[in-house]
């Protein structure tokens, strides 16, 4: 994080492309700074990030909103697994 970012209080995930995952209850998830969607089914979604992978398991999973940087997943989320790159 640079001096400019600290001076203007810019969040680290915006200035460094660090992934940010926000889970709201068991039915909504926001993933910021993702790289690509590797697999998408209504019971399993696999997301590639700069630092690893996110595996989302559940049922009736949908990618409701998707931009080049942000992704919103809804449905019945049962588990989330993280795989860190070494």
Rounded CA gap, 39 and 25, in Å? Answer: 23
- What pLDDT score does 3 carry? 52
Digit-coded pLDDT (tens) for 12-41 = 555 567 889 999 999 999 999 999 999 999
CATH number at residue 24: 2.60.40.2000
Does 59 reside within a domain?
yes
- What pLDDT score does 11 carry? 56
- Sheet of 44-49: strand order equals 20-24, 28-32, 70-84, 52-66, 44-49, 34-40
Tally of domains in the chain: 1
pLDDT grade for 85, boundaries at 50, 70 and 90: confident
B/e letters for 45-57, b = 16+ CB within 10 Å, e = fewer, are bbbbbeeebbebe
- What pLDDT score does 52 carry? 94
Does 9 reside within a domain?
no
User: Closest Cα to residue 45, out of 33, 55, 34?
Assistant: 55
**Tokens read off for 36:** 């690509």
Digit-coded pLDDT (tens) for 40-84 = 999 999 999 988 999 999 999 999 989 988 999 999 999 999 999
Does 6 reside within a domain?
no
Task: Give the pTM.
Answer: 0.80
Bridge partner residues of 83 (DSSP): 53
Does 8 reside within a domain?
no
């Amino acid at each position: 994080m640079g001096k400019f970012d600290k001076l203007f209080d810019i969040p680290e995930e915006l200035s460094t492309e660090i992934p940010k995952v926000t889970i709201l209850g068991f039915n909504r998830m926001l993933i910021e700074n993702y790289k690509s969607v590797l697999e998408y089914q209504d019971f399993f979604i696999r997301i590639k990030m700069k630092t690893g992978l996110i595996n989302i398991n559940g049922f009736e999973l949908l990618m409701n909103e998707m931009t080049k940087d942000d992704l919103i997943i809804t449905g019945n989320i049962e588990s989330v697994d993280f795989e860190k790159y070494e």
